Amino acid sequence: MAKITYIEHNGTEHVVDVADGMTVMEGARDNGIPGIEADCGGACACSTCHVYVHPDWFGKLPEIDPMEEDMLDFAYEPKPGQSRLTCQLKVTPELEGLVVQMPEKQI
């Protein structure tokens, strides 16, 4: 289990425990956190679970695979070195303290 901080675009923070093996997207969905729509249900077929990863964390995450990189092209205002899709981030104990911020909107 890892504590993950989700920050809405307006600055509202939600700190939740997310079970190992789940995705960061599932943690948001299961805890009713607004700002992550997850229209495709985690299939990496849209960009509606896009977030900006806190700079301290970006290099600690698994590399972006080509499919996620392609989907990020459709995200709202992606930022190189910060943008990730939460459906592609599996929770492990190493993600304890991860901080992600939602963009202004999802598209």
As beta bridge partners, residue 100 has 6, 53
The predicted structure's pLDDT at residue 22: 98
Task: Determine, yes or no, domain membership for 52.
Answer: yes
State how many domains the chain has: 1
pLDDT of 25: 98
Q: What is the dihedral of CA 37, 47, 50, 60, to 10 degrees?
A: 130
Please report the pLDDT score of residue 94 as a whole number. 96
Task: List beta partners, residue 15.
Answer: 5
H-helix or E-strand spanning residue 84: strand 83-85
* Domain interval for residue 21: 2-101
Asked, for residue 107, whether it belongs to a domain, the answer is: no
User: What does the pLDDT profile of the chain (107 residues) look like in tens digits?
Assistant: 999 999 999 999 999 999 999 999 999 999 999 999 999 999 999 999 999 999 999 889 999 999 999 999 999 999 999 999 999 999 999 999 999 999 999 99
Question: What integer pLDDT is reported at residue 8 of this predicted model?
Answer: 98
- Whether 82 is in a domain gets the answer yes
Alpha helices per DSSP H over the chain: 24-30, 55-58, 66-72
